[in-house]
Amino acid sequence: MRNLMLAAVAAASITLAGCGGKGDDKLGDQAEKAADNRADALDAAADTMTGTAKDATEAQADAVRAAGDAKEKAIDDADVNADAMSNAQKKAIIEGN
């Protein structure tokens, strides 16, 4: 599911790049921060677990962080014109909806 979301964001970003949009690192940074917050919550949950459940939850947190990093890079590389986007569009990119 996360890979599909990441692919959709990347495709949308590539499409927007063709429009000659203005760069906005802030949007990418917000998307990465949202992923980091989700990963931090997973890490906190993992701290209450043991064994394979703990390992799996920590691995999930690592995957969420990696996806957030990739999303931030895709947004920045696409030179997204965040000023031309609605708040709902920005929120969808940041939250991955």
In tens, the pLDDT along 40-61 reads: 999 999 999 999 999 999 999 9
Domain ranges of the chain: 2-95
| Percent of the chain's residues with pLDDT above 70 | 74
CA distances for 28 relative to 54, 59, 94, angstroms: 30, 23, 8
Length of the chain as a residue count = 97
pTM of the model: 0.72
